[in-house]
């Protein structure tokens, strides 16, 4: 007969409590050892573009440092909003991340009221990865070789000439609007479905001007197929010191805008997960091999530890001013 201390009901309750405690301890141990399974890195654009290229490099580096596979998921559509929305709705466990770009983080929510996610409430900023300027180019057929000729032509022929971007509300479109506002000139905007058709028309001479991210435009600039009029940051890019910044021309002195890439997660990532991801990415950003690969394609690698939240707020403020002045609406 069991003593009263170990009566059958009490014994069962004790065993159940011990099992629960063991289960909780195992769960806590698994959580503390993040990551313990593969991570999905969402890239909100099709394969082959600048965001995809940066994302795949980041994924490879994170996999090596976190000792778990990083699976790339290209989920394009709606200017990056579809991929961003998936991550915003994902569990906050660090196993679904976003290689974010300025399109879906800083621009799309300003111009598309159908977007459901809230940038500052639905994401955890992890780290800025890299920035690169955009570049204003002229077709060879236009005969324009520098910013003075560009300004002279447009001021003598307001609205006659066109510039192309990769779509309404993209960073390229916003940069083109900033150039027009700063230079007090007018061009018709031609939105393309991606960079490839834009490139074809520029090289073919049926489009006079266009805006590229530097990594996309550089091969055509180097080959002499288009003319680089200037990059869009306040100073020349260290990657292309031979290409002037637009801001070197007095009319464009206030032009300062770039394209950027960042690692983001769902809101409320646990502190130990956030620390692990930030540590792994900080090591990545200081890796000579990683830096060389990004810089070769026109990027400037971000400094580890930069306040991504403050950076994002500043970027949204800058884009909002341009969007409101240009009355851009993509609904």
pLDDT of residue 155: 96
Q: Which residues contact 31 (CB under 8 A, 6 or more apart)?
A: 270, 272
- Reported for 7-11, long-range contacts at CB under 8 A and 24+ positions apart, including other chains, are none
d(CA 242, CA 53): 24
pLDDT of residue 331: 53
- Per-residue tokens: 141: 């057929």
DSSP symbols for 180-234: HHHHT---EEEE-SSHHHHHHHHHHTS-SEEEEEHHHHHHHHHTTSEEEEEESSS
- Per-residue tokens: 13: 């309750």
pLDDT of residue 8: 53
DSSP structure class, residue 33:
T
For strand 70-74 and strand 39-43, is the pairing parallel, antiparallel, or unpaired? parallel
Q: Which residues pair with 324 in a beta bridge?
A: none
- Per-residue tokens: 33: 């050892």
Q: Which residues pair with 230 in a beta bridge?
A: 136
pLDDT of residue 284: 97
Q: Which residues pair with 164 in a beta bridge?
A: 190, 210
| Contact yes or no for 113/257 (Cβ under 8 A) | no
d(CA 318, CA 168): 17
Consecutive H or E run containing 32: helix 8-32
Query: In a structure prediction context, what are the per-residue pLDDT tens digits for the chain, which is 331 residues long?
Result: 545 544 554 544 444 444 444 443 444 444 468 999 999 999 998 888 889 999 999 999 999 999 999 999 999 888 899 999 999 999 999 999 999 999 999 999 998 888 989 999 999 999 999 999 999 999 999 999 999 999 999 999 999 999 999 888 889 999 999 999 999 999 999 999 888 899 999 999 999 999 999 988 999 999 999 999 999 999 999 989 999 999 999 999 999 999 999 999 999 999 999 999 999 999 999 999 999 999 988 899 999 988 998 999 999 999 999 889 888 876 5
pLDDT of residue 16: 46
Going from the C-alpha of 311 to that of each of 5, 127, 212, the distances in angstroms are 62, 10, 22
């Amino acid at each position: 007969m069991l003593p009263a201390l170990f009566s059958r009901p009490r014994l069962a309750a004790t065993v159940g409590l011990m099992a629960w405690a063991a289960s909780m301890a195992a769960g806590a141990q698994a959580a503390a050892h993040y990551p313990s399974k593969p991570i999905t890195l969402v890239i909100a654009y099709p394969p082959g573009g600048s965001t995809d290229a940066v994302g795949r490099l980041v994924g490879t580096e994170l996999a090596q440092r976190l000792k778990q596979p990083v699976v790339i998921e290209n989920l394009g559509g709606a200017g990056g909003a579809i991929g961003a929305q998936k991550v915003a709705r994902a569990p906050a466990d660090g196993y679904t991340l976003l290689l974010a770009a300025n399109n879906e983080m800083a621009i799309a929510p300003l111009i598309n009221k159908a977007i459901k996610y809230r940038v500052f409430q639905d994401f955890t900023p992890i780290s800025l990865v890299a920035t690169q300027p955009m570049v204003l180019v002229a077709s060879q057929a236009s005969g324009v070789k520098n910013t003075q000729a560009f300004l002279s032509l447009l001021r003598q022929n307001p609205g006659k000439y066109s510039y192309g971007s990769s779509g309404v509300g993209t960073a390229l479109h916003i940069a083109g609007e900033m150039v027009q506002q700063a230079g007090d000139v007018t061009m018709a905007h031609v939105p393309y479905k991606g960079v490839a058709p834009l490139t074809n028309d520029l090289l073919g001479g049926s489009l006079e001007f266009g805006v590229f991210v530097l990594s996309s435009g550089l091969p055509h600039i180097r080959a002499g197929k288009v003319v680089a009029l200037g990059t869009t940051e306040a100073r020349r890019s260290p990657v292309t010191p031979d290409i002037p910044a637009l801001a070197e021309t007095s009319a464009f002195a206030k032009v300062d805008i770039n394209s950027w890439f960042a690692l983001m997660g769902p809101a409320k990532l646990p502190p130990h997960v956030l620390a692990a991801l930030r540590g792994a990415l900080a090591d990545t950003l200081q890796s000579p091999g990683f830096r060389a690969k990004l810089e070769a394609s026109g990027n400037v690698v971000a400094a580890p530890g930069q306040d991504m939240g403050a950076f994002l707020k500043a970027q949204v403020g800058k884009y909002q001013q341009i969007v409101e002045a240009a009355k851009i609406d993509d609904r």
